[in-house]
Amino acid sequence: MIPEFILRAILASIMVSVLLGLLSPLINTKGLAFLTHALFHALLLGAVLGMILALLFNSYALVTLIALVVTIAIVLIIAQLEKLGFTPDSAVGIVASFVAGLTVLGFGILYKVMASRPYFPLTENIVSYLTGDIFLITLQDLAVLILGGALIFFVLLFLYRDFLYLSFDPEGMESYGGNARAYLMILYVLVGAIGALIVQTVGLITLQVVAVLPGAIALMVSSDLRKVLAVSLLLTLTVQLSSVVLAYFTAIPPSGIATIMLGLIYGALLFRR
């Protein structure tokens, strides 16, 4: 009989694979790899603030909620800076620097709060956020991931063609009456929301790799957008499920295994060229 925590891990892996498989090609075609780096800082700040509030109010569900709110707020600020005329790299760099400083201050407050309260249940949250140990995901975490992921999936699917137009021809989109900046802001919000939802399963340390490499590999394999999407989805699903199985037998965090697998595939394709 398959243990319950393995079933939870498999279900979470499938949802993560669908979200990343769809998102990764957009990240590569639109050039949002640097944005995922900013997500690291945003999610870490959100997690720290969430942990502080979780300890104060004794509700550990606040960690994911606060991380989601903070991350979306930060990506909206980045999008607004771009609207004011800053380049994407400059906008991300400016915001990331402030977020990094706030995160350090947040850790100082978190240590003081942890010193005055029992915080053992919080240690699992910290491990999950940093290393993405999917075996630690609870039924409540899984429910949030599936429900939130399903909502984002349908929004992403509904707007996917528009996002592709935005990636390849934003001027053409504007000429046909589309609001390229509005679509860009929506895409940024979806990137932030997906990052906040999956961070406990893939981990902050490896988030950027698993978000960028599947799409990059798919674009190296084919230039046909349908094939790129199919390869990205299949690759992400295969890697995620394989990492869960290997992690079960090796006791190595699955996020680390997934990252190494993607890196090996990407490296092999580069050498073939």
How much is the pLDDT for 119? Answer: 56
Report the percentage of the chain scoring pLDDT > 90. 25
- Minimum mean pLDDT among 37-46, 91-100, 170-179, 248-257: which range? 170-179
Q: Largest alpha-carbon pair distance within the chain?
A: 59
Q: Is residue 122 part of a domain?
A: yes
Domain membership of residue 199 (yes or no) is yes
Does residue 235 or residue 192 have the better pLDDT? 235
In a domain, 51, yes or no: yes
d(CA 183, CA 185): 5
3-class secondary structure, 231: helix
CATH of the domain at 198: 1.10.3470.10
- Is 254 domain-assigned? no
- Note the pTM of the prediction, 2 decimals: 0.85
Sign of CA dihedral 184, 188, 193, 198: positive
Minimum mean pLDDT among 145-149, 204-208, 236-240, 267-271: which range? 204-208
Q: Are 200 and 220 in contact (CB under 8 A)?
A: no
pLDDT the model gives residue 222 = 86
pLDDT, position 128: 64
Domain of 176 in residue numbering reads as 4-205
**Burial of 141 per CB tally in 10 Å (0-12, 13-18, 19+):** buried
Residue 70 inside a domain? The answer is yes
First to last CA, the chain: 45
Decide if 263 contacts 257 (C-beta within 8 A).
no
Note whether residue 93 is domain-resident: yes
In a domain, 16, yes or no: yes
> What pLDDT, on a 0 to 100 scale, did the predictor assign at position 191?
86
Structural domain total, the chain: 1
> pLDDT tens-digit profile of 113-157?
877 776 555 655 566 677 777 887 888 888 888 999 999 999 999
Q: Does 11 fall in a domain?
A: yes
**Percent of the chain scored above 70 by pLDDT?**
94
In this prediction, residues 213-228 reach a mean pLDDT of 90
